[in-house]
Structure 1
């Protein structure tokens, strides 16, 4: 007999926030991380840009690549590694914090420069920050190579552990040719010694506090690396960027199309999501590990760094879910096949599912089941009832809206405006609702017109326009906004 209360206690801990990105504990971090085949493309030296929405795992991959042994872990797991001398590759952060990191300028500092900064100002900023990061994080060999080429007056600011821009920026801005020469010489040295230097960028949406102030520095960062693409052979960027920030009409970057051959988009398939769930559960202590491996063949092996690795056999994932929840979300298949119902109800309007809400759904369902634990209601090997999966979907939706508000503060006005709107709805119905929205003066919506706001919501995958012109909200956002839909499976009230 399984100790189901203990199993639920363990399942509650798998949600993000429980060491998901805690690089202070690399062992847990690696064991929570799933390597998928698409990451092979992210490792390719010709890939500059890694795009994705919130919660798709950009920051997880960023952290993974910057941990000792991270790139090696990817290469050992992927079936077709990129053929370069990876043992001669150095990975450093060009921007992106970990934990309570103070290596980079505070957003308020850069915000104070936004109004006065032109393209050349930002170009000097990114060049200087790159040199500073090489001196801080690269191998001792590369540090010394760069250090000996820096003028004595520059060293204090560039080698300081403090992120004060004023200590190094004037030197770079006034000596751009000299600064570029240093990086040119570094690239030539890397090629001569068969080495690579990868510069990773993340959290670019936190460069400055104001959303509209992000586009100038991001635009110049992309322009800088596009300019250096043919000039340098061994210094390569990996820029992790939210898809909406790369939108051509917002970024107003005339050469954005040139990135088409140098970018990948992180899109998760339902099979990968189930793999991630099973991997996280299998890497917990008993009894959860034992509960997972009761399905023969579900775990295909164990890696010293990545822990237990799940199979790619979809049939075994389904067997696991059917045993844990049941094959149907109701009395029969007409109420939904559980294995399909779960990912289908977590898709955004573009058909994309992020791993974060997928994992949270199971953590929330386990918490609901634990709070109302009734062993008699969980026959055989069942751990979760469909009604608690449905209730967890509502929690996940509310949580997803809270995440959106962190990225787009103007979204905070939508739940009160959209409450009780039944979708699919005519566009005019949502226009009326948006006219009643109480927008913040400090974080205005992306458009002064309701139709413009609707178009932004469609671009973000929050709303979809149907062929008949009506607007619809997918389940992952519907409950968080307080919207309604006629029909479907009845949801619990708490």
Structure 2
């Protein structure tokens, strides 16, 4: 019989297994770290062109995993997607600088300033992936894009030939795009570049059988992209989303603990039972109970964090309390926030509650949520600065709050004037003028502004009509709630 882990052994396992870096760009996926939540299956279908997901939900993780043949094989096996075994994968854009494959941010800025058409640019990227001979001899992306513009027939013949050869071989060419927020520092130009990617993606989807794009993108970027081309709605109907259920989040935690390279992880697998080890011995698959049964997961998490967020059930159950307080207004929790909160909970427990009877103290978990809130607000301020402008007037007040009071506070702070600078405007593109949105859709209509914030998950509406803020935003914005988690002091 396996000896149960002691409190300090659980802490040691958590410290070793939880990823140190919360930034996905610094972590390369490995076979042993590949967790396959059931909610992500549709995102990996070869024909799912658009994969939407906010910060920290796994866009870059899956982008990098699909580039790796071993990880693709694992995903194909666990999701039962046979077609993933018959793909050749190329990079269309990513955070890494790969001038040989696609232009970097500096080159893109210059190309945009010179008026190069985004569609032609991404067509050049596609042909480069296919080894188009003429483009090989052109070192600059400007010249590649101009060649595409000047030689549409040759470009189309290359695509047709590649498509026919791939069909005969039974394979699909999959072109991946990620890190689209790095396309251009001016959001209006980034929207144009994204629009070019989407237009070409649809052209390949409709015009070929064996060439597909997969575009990992934040929802707000997809909504703001300039999709002014025929049948653009087909991309939306085909879109997938990277979402995480509560069972997925805890499944990820237990998968992470069980796949740490240590004797403690081996004992954890024996204690929880039913793990399957792959032939290589590098990756261990948790049993369905541990990856998808909340009752069993709750029992296991109680061994780590205790049953309650205090002395009794009135303070809340640890298993439900943690994800509930990390959830945004559309009931989504990013795994990055979840694991980061656990990291902080562990360091707080070790620093101030080392004698606690469980590996994680409930006050440590509270501080983990506070830290995750600060991180989330920092992220939203980078992605959508106008959101910060809209929530800042609520600081020092309590939620839930009547909508009329929100509108009055916005008027008092002259929010409309501030947002007008970020509002829709028309900008020239060639011979046309197009509408470009860099702020909210309706900066001067408070009711519609609230609806947009609700759609983004920053606000939510209660059944009685009052406006609320989820804790993951509320805490760091300095908005109160009676009995709620307070903001970190200092």
Task: Note the residue ranges of structure 2 that are not aligned, 5 or more in a row.
Answer: 423-437
How big is the shift at 1:105?
Answer: 2.3
Residue of structure 1 equivalent to 2:90: 92
CA distance in 1, matches of 2:241, 2:352: 40
Report if aligned partners of 1:398, 1:480 keep a CA contact under 8 Å in 2: yes
CA distance in 1, matches of 2:33, 2:12: 17
Q: What whole-Å deviation, never above 9, does each CA across 1:275-323 have from its counterpart, x for those lacking one?
A: 1111112222436415633633264444638622222212332121111
Report if aligned partners of 2:195, 2:225 keep a CA contact under 8 Å in 1: no
Q: What whole-Å deviation, never above 9, does each CA across 1:259-287 have from its counterpart, x for those lacking one?
A: 35522111111111111111112222436
Q: Using a 3 Å threshold, how does the CA distance of structure 1 residues 211 and 431 change in structure 2: closer, same or farther? A: farther
Q: How does 1:405-424 map to 2 (within 5 A)?
A: 405-413=381-389, 416-424=392-400
CA distance in 1, matches of 2:149, 2:389: 42
SS at match of 2:345: helix
Aligned: 1:81 with 2:81: yes
Aligned: 1:332 with 2:312: yes
Q: Using a 3 Å threshold, how does the CA distance of structure 1 residues 69 and 345 change in structure 2: closer, same or farther? A: same
Q: Using a 3 Å threshold, how does the CA distance of structure 1 residues 109 and 449 change in structure 2: closer, same or farther? A: farther
SS at match of 1:47: coil
SS at match of 2:200: helix
Of stretches 434-443 and 332-341 in structure 1, the one that deviates more from structure 2 is 434-443
SS at match of 2:285: strand
How big is the shift at 1:15?
Answer: 4.0
Which of 300, 304, 311 aligns to 2:280? It is 304
How big is the shift at 1:385?
Answer: 1.0
Q: What whole-Å deviation, never above 9, does each CA across 1:334-388 have from its counterpart, x for those lacking one?
A: 221221112211211111121111111101111111222422x22xxx2001111
Structure with greater contact order relative to length (CA < 8 Å, sep ≥ 6): 1
CA distance in 2, matches of 1:90, 1:105: 21
Residue of structure 1 equivalent to 2:456: 460
Q: Using a 3 Å threshold, how does the CA distance of structure 1 residues 126 and 267 change in structure 2: closer, same or farther? A: same
Aligned: 1:449 with 2:444: yes
SS at match of 1:90: strand
CA distance in 2, matches of 1:432, 1:12: 47
Q: Using a 3 Å threshold, how does the CA distance of structure 1 residues 439 and 309 change in structure 2: closer, same or farther? A: farther
Q: How does 1:176-187 map to 2 (within 5 A)?
A: 176-187=152-163
Residue of structure 2 equivalent to 1:64: 65
SS at match of 1:422: coil
Q: How does 1:310-321 map to 2 (within 5 A)?
A: 310-313=286-289, 314=293, 315-321=295-301
SS at match of 2:65: helix
Q: Using a 3 Å threshold, how does the CA distance of structure 1 residues 450 and 11 change in structure 2: closer, same or farther? A: farther
SS at match of 1:406: helix
Which of 336, 342, 345 aligns to 2:322? It is 342
Could you tell me the TM-score, scaled by structure 1's length? 0.83
Aligned: 1:156 with 2:137: yes
Task: Note the residue ranges of structure 1 that are not aligned, 5 or more in a row.
Answer: 136-145
Residue of structure 1 equivalent to 2:47: 46
Of stretches 306-315 and 437-446 in structure 1, the one that deviates more from structure 2 is 437-446
Q: Using a 3 Å threshold, how does the CA distance of structure 1 residues 409 and 298 change in structure 2: closer, same or farther? A: farther
Q: What whole-Å deviation, never above 9, does each CA across 1:368-421 have from its counterpart, x for those lacking one?
A: 11222422x22xxx2001111111111111111112223223445466433212
Of stretches 269-278 and 32-41 in structure 1, the one that deviates more from structure 2 is 32-41
Q: How does 1:126-205 map to 2 (within 5 A)?
A: 126-135=122-131, 146=132, 150-151=133-134, 154-157=135-138, 160=139, 164-205=140-181
